[in-house]
Amino acid sequence: MELFLFRHAEYERLYNCTGLDVDSIPLERRQFVPESIAFCVLSAIYYVLYVPCMYSFWKHLRDNSCYKLLFYIGMIDLIILSIAGFFCAWANLRGAVFCSYPTLMYLVGVLAHATWSAETSADLILAFNRCLELVLPRFSHILFSGPRTLLWITGCSLYALFWALFMNPVLYSSIYFAWFYYPFVGYRTGDDQLQVIRIKAVGLS
């Protein structure tokens, strides 16, 4: 994100779509209509199912530190579900690639990276919390009691902010129904493409 905000000339060098014709790959090769509809329907169902879970976590926030972590993870899950479900479905219905909506794709990629890093770090802390509660409950109380859990959550959020600011985002391509670090995948080839890391859309959910 700092590249986009503070080093825009370098951003333009790396992500410039000048001369690239999106329609050089036919629209029918960039669309996944049945899959996109399925993503939307499933995402809507998951959202509905999340409501009682989130309410349960909220109601028990004061009872145990794990509920604070679960509520935080649940909020992130809902954001990720919006990206992996609704955004990917919309992009595939439009046959969108990075150069179709460069700024939007970049910013959504930043958000996807940030939420993924927050989710994974919070999952690790939750696992650590549960293991301590079983093996060393007194030590768990020292580390997680009261507002101390919020410090762990703040750490996860700061870690996510670091990823959002300083890491190159993943970018969605409807050609492959997947996320890549290379913005022109499917259109241009070169040494930069060796650095591509593919992340299935379902992996972000």
- Count of structural domains within the chain: 1
Whether the Cβ atoms of residue 95 and residue 30 lie closer than 8 Å to each other? yes
- Cα–Cα distance, 65 to 86 (Å, whole number): 31
The answer to whether residue 137 is domain-embedded is: yes
- Residue-level pLDDT at 194: 42
The answer to whether residue 19 is domain-embedded is: no
The answer to whether residue 18 is domain-embedded is: no
The answer to whether residue 90 is domain-embedded is: yes
The answer to whether residue 193 is domain-embedded is: yes
DSSP 34-82: HHHHHHHHHHHHHHHHHHHHHHHHHHTTTT-HHHHHHHHHHHHHHHHHI
The answer to whether residue 86 is domain-embedded is: yes
- Residue-level pLDDT at 64: 86
Instruction: Specify the CATH number for the domain of residue 135.
Output: 1.20.1070.10
- Residue-level pLDDT at 142: 92
- Residue-level pLDDT at 69: 95
The answer to whether residue 15 is domain-embedded is: no
Range of the domain at 75: 2-7+32-204
- Residue-level pLDDT at 190: 53
One pLDDT digit (tens) per residue for the chain, 205 residues: 888 889 989 999 999 999 899 999 999 899 989 999 999 999 999 999 999 999 999 998 888 889 999 999 999 999 999 999 999 999 999 999 999 999 999 999 999 999 999 999 999 999 999 999 999 999 998 999 888 999 999 999 999 999 999 999 999 999 998 999 999 998 887 544 444 444 443 344 3
- Residue-level pLDDT at 54: 93
The answer to whether residue 112 is domain-embedded is: yes
The pTM assigned to this predicted structure is: 0.86
- Residue-level pLDDT at 184: 93
